[in-house]
Amino acid sequence: MKCEVVAIGTELLLGQIVDTNSSWMGEQLALAGIDSHFQTKVGDNRERMVLALRTALARSDAVIVCGGLGPTQDDITREAIAEVMNVSLVRDEAIVEKIAAMFASRGRQMAENNARQADVPAGASVIEQVRGTAPGLICPVGHKVIYAVPGVPHEMREMVERAVLPDLQVRAGTTATILSRTLRTWGLAESALAEKLGPRLEELDQMESGPTIAFLASGIEGIKVRITVKDADAESAKAVLSAEEATVRAILGDIVFGVDDETMEDTVGAMLKARSLTLGLAESMTGGLVASRLTNVVGASDWFRGSVVSYASEVKFDLLDVPEGPVVSAEAAKAMAEGARKALGADVGLAVTGVAGPAEQDGQPVGTVFFGIAMGDTPADSSEVHLPGDRILVRQFAAISLLDLLRHKLLQQ
Amino acid sequence: MKCEVVAIGTELLLGQIVDTNSSWMGEQLALAGIDSHFQTKVGDNRERMVLALRTALARSDAVIVCGGLGPTQDDITREAIAEVMNVSLVRDEAIVEKIAAMFASRGRQMAENNARQADVPAGASVIEQVRGTAPGLICPVGHKVIYAVPGVPHEMREMVERAVLPDLQVRAGTTATILSRTLRTWGLAESALAEKLGPRLEELDQMESGPTIAFLASGIEGIKVRITVKDADAESAKAVLSAEEATVRAILGDIVFGVDDETMEDTVGAMLKARSLTLGLAESMTGGLVASRLTNVVGASDWFRGSVVSYASEVKFDLLDVPEGPVVSAEAAKAMAEGARKALGADVGLAVTGVAGPAEQDGQPVGTVFFGIAMGDTPADSSEVHLPGDRILVRQFAAISLLDLLRHKLLQQ
């Protein structure tokens, strides 16, 4: 079973949007054991969309078309697919009503344009939309198939996972199970990680059909170590995966902070909750970034009290009782952590102050960051790091580094 | 003159690398006035590369192939092009010597593999490599042409700018310029925007070669309206673009918040700075998200004081003097705005409290959000909105909505 991806949108060709949707779909297809040999981008032009779809169908068994399902004049994926199928579009009144109800629930009236999103090529079936307005489509073309999914990433992903991949696997008659698990690490560069795991990688290379290990850099979120297992038997696949995870964890130790979609804030939040501790923050250079990550976690109110984003020095002095003086310093970081703990009524106070750039501050170069942590009965502690990159990167590295510092402190408890 | 991009690499299909090279080339081609209707990704497989190149040449006049010029076994772009040209590869000894000299200058010996990079399809000419080892190629195929450039981004960019684009423009015999500008809007759905601009879109449709307008949804950042102009004369293109921007702005009014890469926080920050006003925040359900967006702006310290992220109710009562009672309410939002202004010593106090979910709070359903704003001598003001989506989306919509509220208040000043 071969499946291609066709991404629709003139903005993709003009480079105004980078096509991350196709990359994501390529990864999912590979994990599902479906071969994918080509990906195409084409603009909002009916003739060329039809050509791209026909080209893709000629060399593959299935095509996923992404984008062009919106309500505007240049959203013509439905029309292009109908032409390839050689059928007409039929308006599905049940979908019209559903879209209208969605608008009504937001206190708005549906514009006439939106009804176009209920047009379905005759003979196609509908993939229910649960996050937006445009439904997806499953369109048979002879013994092959075109899937249409929206270009909005979170809508696309939900639909591909729920409806497209399962349908593809049924068509492929795949019996082999492919399982993968991703261990998320923080604190080592990819080369150091590869060196640590080198002997194990060599052992796996010797095996006839053992698990495989791949490294995926994920920018500011550390390096992912993905273990993949392919096995005819699902139970056996699970067992091999778990055994390999245990082996890799034993080698890597506590630089592994999470599994699969687990974020650093998920991990830290779960640790605080398990220890019945509450957290208060004082953020300067990260400007609320750490708090906003922590409050992404469902149930954060169980352990998160709040943050004093003390961007101006006076706010540090007034709200956090930081002594007047240089605010990019170990002393300031410790005072901020104590101040946050007290002002926010938390068990643990965590603080960050530093220089995000573009200019230096308090005689410290860009990338200089001080962390403070106050917990238990001992005096507050501080540490200093020097982070690479521009303003945006320095802020992001500082945020995840601070959370990782807290993780290590909690592990020691 | 039509030119396609073909990106080579199995890692692109597997989603391990996002193909930003093609996006960049698409942008450059558009700016050079070269039409580009398709982009293809294909893996390191000779048969499929040949198929992708033939498909591209069948529908375009020129093809830029990116990647697969390295020294390893799976770098086979040279072989694939030679097959499409129906010629053999000839090793260019001058290039071998150059590569060997490059290794020598770094104190290393050239591995035999690297000599492959000096293989040139008979009849092709070489684009000198000035940053790495693999030279580029200009390969005539009948009256059409294939350009080969390396996949390393900075090597690719240098070669495309220096050699490929000028050669394409000579072949095209055109000096047409394509310019585009993007107006960023907040507050109207794509369909409502399309209806508002409908009459103008129809007028443009009637024109022989007028500007074109496209809508680009950009998730939580609103809808972008892109105006594109193609004109033989660069000065004339600029004038038409500016005139069309004025027309579109007159139709859309103050829902336009920025141009091109300008973010909502850039705009709000510039407005605060121009008015010499400082800002203090009180954030509950957004948990620091608004502050972290604002502090992304370079120079935010000129106008941003800080934020009290009052996630726990007690923090609202203690640090912001919010009267005890339901904290998801218009009264609480107003008190938070006043409290933030006072506690942070700011001219303007801005507050948000609401229910991000997953569970309701204070008897209010998920998506209920109250904004508060305190500025000038009048009492604080509040407004209520109901936002769609899950926890993450509700928080993000709330953050940009709050910034847009401030923008409108400042516009009224």
The answer to whether the CB atoms of B318 and A108 lie below 8 A apart is no
Residue B13 confidence (pLDDT) above 70: yes
Q: Is B368 on the interface with A (CB under 8 A)?
A: no
The answer to whether the CB atoms of B38 and A37 lie below 8 A apart is no
Average pLDDT over residues A131-149: 95
B76, exposed or middle or buried, with CB in 10 Å at 0-12, 13-18, 19+? buried
Most confident of A27-36, B35-44, B177-186: B35-44
Residue B281 confidence (pLDDT) above 70: yes
pLDDT at A175: 67
Band (pLDDT 50/70/90 cuts) for residue A106 is confident
- From B170's Cα to the closest Cα of chain A, the distance in A is 21
Q: Is A209 on the interface with B (CB under 8 A)?
A: no
Q: Which of residues 296-355 of A touch B (CB under 8 A)?
A: 296, 298, 300-301, 304-312, 314-315, 318-319, 343-345
The string of pLDDT tens digits covering residues B328-356 is 999 999 999 999 999 999 999 999 999 99
Strands (E), A247-317: 256-259, 279-283, 304-310
List of chain A residues whose C-beta atoms are within 8 Å of the C-beta of residue B296? 287, 391-392, 395
- Token pair for A10: 């003139």
Residue B311 confidence (pLDDT) above 80: yes
Among the partner residues B192, B298, B311, nearest to A306 by beta-carbon distance: B311
pLDDT at A176: 73
Return the domain boundaries, chain B: 3-172, 177-259, 264-412
Closest alpha carbon within chain B to A155 = B219
List of chain B residues whose C-beta atoms are within 8 Å of the C-beta of residue A306? 308-312, 315, 319
pLDDT at A194: 85
Among the partner residues A11, A18, A310, nearest to B18 by beta-carbon distance: A18
The answer to whether the CB atoms of B306 and A301 lie below 8 A apart is no
- Token pair for A402: 């601070």
List of chain B residues whose C-beta atoms are within 8 Å of the C-beta of residue A291? 287-288, 291-292, 309, 311
End-to-end distance of chain A based on CA atoms, in angstroms? 52
The string of pLDDT tens digits covering residues B367-381 is 999 999 999 999 999
List of chain B residues whose C-beta atoms are within 8 Å of the C-beta of residue A48? 37-38
pLDDT at A323: 95
Closest alpha carbon within chain B to A395 = B296
pLDDT at B50: 98
Residue A173 confidence (pLDDT) above 80: yes
Unique residue bearing structure tokens 């937001």? A106
Strands A256-259, A304-310: parallel, antiparallel or unpaired by DSSP?
unpaired
The answer to whether the CB atoms of B48 and A37 lie below 8 A apart is yes
Give the Cβ contact number of residue A123 at 10 Å.
13
The answer to whether the CB atoms of B305 and A315 lie below 8 A apart is yes
- From A290's Cα to the closest Cα of chain B, the distance in A is 8
Strands (E), B123-176: 125-127, 136-141, 144-149
Q: What does pLDDT average to over chain A?
A: 93
Among the partner residues B37, B281, B286, nearest to A48 by beta-carbon distance: B37
Quick check: B333 and B372 in contact, CB under 8 A? yes
The answer to whether the CB atoms of A296 and B226 lie below 8 A apart is no
Instruction: Report percent pLDDT > 70 for chain A.
Output: 99
Quick check: A7 and A29 in contact, CB under 8 A? no
Closest alpha carbon within chain B to A46 = B37
CATH topology of domain A177-259: Alpha-Beta Plaits (3.30.70)
Strands (E), B329-408: 348-354, 368-374, 381-386
Quick check: A146 and A36 in contact, CB under 8 A? no
Mutation to test the B interface, candidates A20, A38, A106, most B Cβ within 10 Å:
A38
- Token pair for A265: 């804030």
In 3D space, the residue among A384, A374, A259 whose CA is nearest the CA of residue A320 turns out to be A374
Residue B16 confidence (pLDDT) above 90: no
Residue B105 confidence (pLDDT) above 90: no
Among the partner residues A28, A214, A305, nearest to B312 by beta-carbon distance: A305
Q: Is B394 on the interface with A (CB under 8 A)?
A: no
- From B167's Cα to the closest Cα of chain A, the distance in A is 20
Q: A398: Cβ–Cβ under 8 A, 6 or more apart, which residues?
A: A285, A286, A289, A352, A354, A356, A369, A385, A387
More confident site: A158 or B113: A158
Among the partner residues B217, B291, B305, nearest to A312 by beta-carbon distance: B305
The answer to whether the CB atoms of B311 and A304 lie below 8 A apart is yes
The answer to whether the CB atoms of A37 and B194 lie below 8 A apart is no
Lowest pLDDT segment from B29-38, B91-100, B326-335: B29-38
Separation CA B295–CA B391 (nearest Å): 23
Among the partner residues A19, A24, A287, nearest to B292 by beta-carbon distance: A287
Q: Which of residues 217-246 of B touch A (CB under 8 A)?
A: 217, 219, 226
Number of H helices, E strands in chain A: 14, 17
Quick check: B217 and B192 in contact, CB under 8 A? no
The two most distant CA atoms of chain A are separated, in Å, by 76
The string of pLDDT tens digits covering residues B182-227 is 999 999 988 899 999 999 999 998 988 889 898 877 778 899 998 9
DSSP, res B153? H
Average pLDDT over residues B261-272: 96
pLDDT at A218: 67
The answer to whether the CB atoms of B16 and A27 lie below 8 A apart is yes
Residue A388 confidence (pLDDT) above 70: yes
pLDDT at B112: 84
Q: Do domains B3-172 and B264-412 have the same CATH topology?
A: no
Mutation to test the B interface, candidates A3, A18, A39, A215, most B Cβ within 10 Å:
A39
Q: A119: Cβ–Cβ under 8 A, 6 or more apart, which residues?
A: A78, A89, A90, A91, A92
- From B121's Cα to the closest Cα of chain A, the distance in A is 25
Average pLDDT over residues A359-380: 94
pLDDT at B395: 96
pLDDT at A390: 86
SS3 B174: coil
Closest alpha carbon within chain A to B399 = A292
- Token pair for A78: 């439905």
Closest alpha carbon within chain B to A290 = B288
Mutation to test the A interface, candidates B200, B307, B321, B366, most A Cβ within 10 Å:
B307
Angle between helices A330-343 and A313-320 (to 10 degrees): 50
Domain B3-172 has CATH 3.40.980.10: yes
pLDDT at B175: 66
Q: DSSP letters along B269-337, please?
A: HHHHHHTT--EEEEESTTTTHHHHHHTTSTTGGGTEEEEEEE-SHHHHHHHH-PPSS-SSSHHHHHHHH
Instruction: Report percent pLDDT > 90 for chain B.
Output: 77
Q: Is A152 on the interface with B (CB under 8 A)?
A: yes
Residue A168 Cα to chain centre, angstroms: 24
Band (pLDDT 50/70/90 cuts) for residue B180 is confident
pLDDT at B30: 84
Instruction: Report percent pLDDT > 70 for chain B.
Output: 99
The answer to whether the CB atoms of A315 and B344 lie below 8 A apart is yes
pTM of the model: 0.78
Separation CA B358–CA B213 (nearest Å): 39
Q: Is A45 on the interface with B (CB under 8 A)?
A: yes
Task: Return the bridge partners of A304, or none.
Answer: A279
- From A46's Cα to the closest Cα of chain B, the distance in A is 12
Average pLDDT over residues A25-29: 93
- The Cα-based distances of A253 to A180, A186, A383 in angstroms read 20, 11, 22
- From A149's Cα to the closest Cα of chain B, the distance in A is 15
Q: B277: Cβ–Cβ under 8 A, 6 or more apart, which residues?
A: B303, B347, B348, B375, B410
Length of chain B: 413
List of chain B residues whose C-beta atoms are within 8 Å of the C-beta of residue A289? 288, 292, 295
Separation CA B164–CA A40 (nearest Å): 22
The answer to whether the CB atoms of A12 and B20 lie below 8 A apart is no
Among the partner residues B14, B23, B216, nearest to A30 by beta-carbon distance: B14
pLDDT at A220: 79
Give the Cβ contact number of residue B386 at 10 Å.
16
Q: Is B103 on the interface with A (CB under 8 A)?
A: no
Q: Is A153 on the interface with B (CB under 8 A)?
A: yes
- From B42's Cα to the closest Cα of chain A, the distance in A is 5
Q: What dihedral angle (degrees, nearest 10) is formed by the CA atoms of A156, A161, A167, A168?
A: 90
The string of pLDDT tens digits covering residues A195-233 is 899 999 999 989 888 898 888 766 678 888 989 888 888
Residue pairs between chains A and B whose CB atoms are closer than 8 Å: 267
Mutation to test the A interface, candidates B22, B41, B402, most A Cβ within 10 Å:
B41
Q: What dihedral angle (degrees, nearest 10) is formed by the CA atoms of B70, B76, B78, B79?
A: 150
pLDDT at B73: 81
Band (pLDDT 50/70/90 cuts) for residue B27 is confident
Residue type, A151: G
List of chain B residues whose C-beta atoms are within 8 Å of the C-beta of residue A311? 291, 295, 300-301, 304-307
Strands A212-217, A223-231: parallel, antiparallel or unpaired by DSSP?
antiparallel
What does the H/E/C string look like for A161-177?
Answer: HHHHHHHHHHHHCCCCE
The answer to whether the CB atoms of A306 and B309 lie below 8 A apart is yes
CATH topology of domain B264-412: Maf protein (3.90.950)
The string of pLDDT tens digits covering residues A330-346 is 999 999 999 999 999 99
Q: What is the ipTM metric for this complex?
A: 0.77
